[in-house]
C-alpha cells in the first residue's frame, strides 16, 4: 500500500521573542517514489538543543541529520520501531563522539521526537520533553511522555497539576541525546485512520499553547497555515523559548474544505 498523495505535512521553526538563537531543528524525509516509500516510509524529526549558542544549535541539527542518516542506512532491520530506535541510539553515539572531539566545557545535548509512517501505521519516538500528539475525530491526545522533572514528580504523585503549574523547573529534562548515559528511547506504535493528524513540537510551543488549543488549530487549518498559527500564538504569549511545530494530516479526503481558507 502506498500513501503517496495522502499525506500532507508542513513545519515551521522560530526563534521566539526572547532567545537570541534558535536551538531547535526540524527535518522531514519524505519518499521520492513508491519504491522509496515501501523501503523507508515517511520520517519526521524535531530536536530542541541545549547548551547555548553554537552548542545547542549544533546538537539539534546534528542529531536530526544523523538520525535520518542511520535510518536510511538500516534498511536491513525489518521492524520499523526497532529501526527507528537503533537510528536514534546511533545518533546519540555520534553526538557523544562529537562532544568529545570538541573538548568544550559547555553542555551539549538535545531532546528528540520523531515519527515514521508506513501503510496505515505510525511509530512515534521521544527523548526529553519534545512531544508528539495524535488527533482523531476532533480529540487530541499527547502520545509521548515527557522525560522531565515535572512529569516525574506528577507521575509519582509528589506534586499535583496545580502545584506543577507554579514550579519553575519545567525546563529540567531527565533524558537527552548526547548525555553521558545512554538515553531512554520511548516508542509508541499507532494505527492510523483516514483524517488522523499528528503534531511534533518542541516545548516552546507547549509552554504557551495547551493541548486543546493545538487540536482546535490543526482541525481548522491545513498543515502549513496551522503551523504558522500555532507559532504565532506562542509568540503572542511571550515566545519565551524557540518554537518548532510540525503538522501532518493522514489521508485527508480531498473534499474537506478547511475553515478560514479561501
Domain definitions of the chain by residue range: 7-250
Mean pLDDT calculated for residue range 133-156 = 87
How confident is the model over 194-234, as pLDDT tens digits? 999 999 999 999 999 999 999 999 999 999 999 999 999 99
According to CATH, the superfamily of the domain at 7-250 is PPM-type phosphatase domain (3.60.40.10)
pLDDT greater at residue 97 or residue 260:
97
Helices (H), 103-182: 149-155, 161-166
Average pLDDT, the chain: 89
Helices (H), the chain: 34-40, 55-73, 80-102, 149-155, 161-166, 203-206, 211-220, 223-236
Confidence of residue 158 (pLDDT cuts 50, 70, 90): confident
> H or E stretch including 110?
strand 109-118
Confidence of residue 256 (pLDDT cuts 50, 70, 90): very low
- In sequence order, the β-bridge partners of residue 243 are 14
Predicted pLDDT of residue 89: 98
Amino acid at each position: 500500500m502506498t500513501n503517496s498523495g495522502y499525506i500532507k505535512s508542513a513545519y515551521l521553526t522560530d526563534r521566539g521573542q526572547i532567545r537570541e538563537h534558535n536551538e531547535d531543528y526540524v527535518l522531514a524525509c519524505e519518499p521520492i517514489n513508491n519504491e522509496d516509500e515501501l523501503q523507508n516510509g515517511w520520517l519526521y524529526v524535531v530536536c530542541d538543543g541545549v547548551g547555548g549558542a553554537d552548542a545547542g544549535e549544533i546538537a539539534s541539527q546534528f542529531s536530526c541529520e544523523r538520525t535520518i542518516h542511520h535510518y536510511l542506512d538500516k534498511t536491513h532491520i525489518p521492524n520499523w520501531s526497532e529501526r527507528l530506535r537503533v537510528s536514534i541510539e546511533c545518533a546519540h553515539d555520534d553526538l557523544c563522539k562529537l562532544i568529545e572531539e570538541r573538548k568544550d566545557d559547555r553542555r551539549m545535548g538535545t531532546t528528540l521526537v520523531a515519527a515514521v509512517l508506513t501503510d496505515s501505521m505510525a511509530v512515534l519516538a521521544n527523548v526529553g520533553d519534545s512531544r508528539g500528539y495524535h488527533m482523531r475525530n476532533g480529540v487530541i491526545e499527547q502520545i509521548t511522555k515527557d522525560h522531565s522533572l515535572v512529569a516525574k514528580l506528577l507521575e509519582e504523585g509528589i506534586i499535583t497539576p496545580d502545584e506543577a503549574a507554579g514550579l519553575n523547573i519545567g525546563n529540567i529534562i531527565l533524558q537527552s541525546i548526547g548525555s553521558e548515559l545512554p538515553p531512554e528511547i520511548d516508542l509508541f506504535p499507532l494505527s492510523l485512520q483516514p483524517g488522523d493528524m499528528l503534531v511534533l513540537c518542541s516545548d516552546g510551543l507547549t509552554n504557551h499553547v495547551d493541548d486543546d488549543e493545538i487540536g482546535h488549530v490543526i482541525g481548522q487549518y491545513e498543515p502549513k497555515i496551522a503551523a504558522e498559527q500555532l507559532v504565532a500564538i506562542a509568540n503572542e504569549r511571550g515566545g519565551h523559548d524557540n518554537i518548532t511545530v510540525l503538522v501532518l494530516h493522514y489521508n485527508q479526503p480531498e473534499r474537506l474544505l478547511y475553515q478560514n481558507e479561501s
